[in-house]
Amino acid sequence: MKIAIIGSGGREHAITYSISKSKKIKKIYCIPGNAGTEEIAENINLDINNFENIRDFLIENKIELVVVGPEDPLVNGIVDYLENFNIKVFGPSKKASQLEGSKIFTKNLCKKYKIPTANFGVFTNSQESIDFIKNAKHPIVIKADNLAAGKGVYICEDIQQSFKAVEEIFNGKFGDAKNLLIEEFLRGEEMSYFVISDGSTIKNFGTAQDHKRVNEGDKGKNTGGMGAYYPSRLINSELEKKIIDKIIKPTLKGLSADNIKYKGFLYAGLMIVDNEPYLIEYNVRMGDPECQTILPVLKTDLIEIIEAVINEKLNDFNLQWHDSKSLCVVLCSNGYPDKYEKNVEIQNFNSVVLDEKNFLFHAGTRKKDKRILAIGGRVLNFVSISSSFNDAREKIHKNLEKLNWKAGFYRKDIAYKVINK
């Protein structure tokens, strides 16, 4: 089978690596890919939002299956577009992708189907937002309504922070946001919960704990994710039943009532308060870096799972997992999530120890004249699976020390809530 994977991040490298192990695969193309995917696939330098060019390439090269990694093309309707040309695609439709594309769409769905979430208000301009904030009890959460690569969320401790958030959102910091959400602040602990759906059947696809803040101790600015561990320390059978019954099933039922069939990965960002789940937001794809943490512990052939979803036969499937813990640390460019230098060479890759339990997934990298250059804020993902989180983190830190990249930094405390207990 010839397959194309759309995207260029650590998530897409992890997906490419997992798929490459399938006996069904003859050839993998990554559009556009990165320096890591280039080792196991052929990179094709196409714009992921130029659907016509992608379609032409897929048809010309007789691609049998497309896997879409990032949210942008999903929200923009790549699945619908390619399916019109009888190309098999794994991922949710444009309508289903509104779950991530519009926070207001999701909030209204929650309200209609009584899905537990923070109380909220929708505001269409700066002045009405500011008028509300003046009388609001802080802290509050302010969100841009559009896609913001995981960064369009402000937790505001006081009025001045709230005013600044409103100004930045409506001035276009995260693109063309015509609306913003103001939510109550929930005190609890966040958890990432994943399922996979074929439109009627859902299967659990793991839990993880992301670390969004740039500095240790969960301080500083929000990022796309500085690291993660699997499974979440919060998950238990009682909580999982509540998540499925109170959040996932009502969501898919609500979509179905509007003739929207959800097929693909669904990622629920949750706040857990006294073992009760509240939906913070949905993402219509695997998380990044959670994907890099979860896929290495998957036993079942990922391609077989994807085919079962496309053919709506997930009910016949039993997903199998390794009985291991997994941890990911993200190496970032100095300055991230603000300005950082690009095209900085990374050396010493030969010193890094990689095997069946220790992985390196590239994100913001490219290869030029046999050199590997950092071109993004989040650059490399070091992953280790082990019987203990402490052992996994120690192995990752040893590899990071061997790489010794002076132009980058990483959080040394990933999984501190499970390791430092």
User: What is the secondary structure of 4-32 as a DSSP string?
Assistant: EEEE-SHHHHHHHHHHHT-TT-SEEEEEE
Q: Is the pTM of this model over 0.75?
A: yes
CA dist 321 and 205 (Å) reads 10
Q: Where in the chain is the domain with CATH 3.30.470.20?
A: 189-316
280 φ, ψ to 5°? -90, -50
Top-tier CATH class for 325-419: alpha beta
The per-residue pLDDT string of the chain (421 residues; one tens digit each, 9 = 90 and over) reads 999 999 999 999 999 999 999 999 999 999 999 999 999 999 999 999 999 999 999 999 999 999 999 999 999 999 999 999 999 999 999 999 999 988 889 989 999 999 999 888 888 888 888 888 888 889 999 988 766 555 578 889 999 999 999 988 888 887 777 788 899 899 999 999 999 999 999 999 999 999 999 999 999 988 999 999 999 999 999 999 999 999 999 999 999 999 999 999 999 999 999 999 999 999 999 999 999 999 999 999 999 999 999 999 999 889 999 999 999 999 999 999 999 999 999 999 999 999 999 999 999 999 999 899 999 999 999 999 999 999 999 999 999 999 999 999 999 999 999 997 5
Kind and range of the H or E run holding 81: helix 78-83
CA–centroid distance for 145 within its chain: 17
Domain(s) of CATH 3.40.50.20: residues in the chain: 2-93
Provide the CATH number for the domain formed by 125-178 in this structure. Answer: 3.30.1490.20
**What was the pLDDT predicted at 148?**
54
DSSP 193: E
Q: Let me know: does 179 contact 104? Beta carbons within 8 Å.
A: yes
Q: Where do the CATH 3.30.1490.20 domains begin and end in the chain?
A: 125-178
Q: Which amino acid is at 345?
A: E
Residue with the two structure tokens 């796309």: 224
Domain with CATH 3.90.600.10 in the chain: 325-419
CATH number given to 2-93? 3.40.50.20
Q: What does each C-alpha distance from 72 to 250, 326, 363 come to in angstroms?
A: 25, 28, 16
Exposed (0-12), middle (13-18) or buried (19+): which is 147, by Cβ within 10 Å?
Answer: buried
Superfamily of segment(s) 189-316: ATP-grasp fold, B domain (3.30.470.20)
Integer Cα distance of 356 and 100 in angstroms: 34
- What are the residue ranges of helices labelled H in 71-227? 71-75, 78-83, 98-101, 103-112, 126-134, 159-170
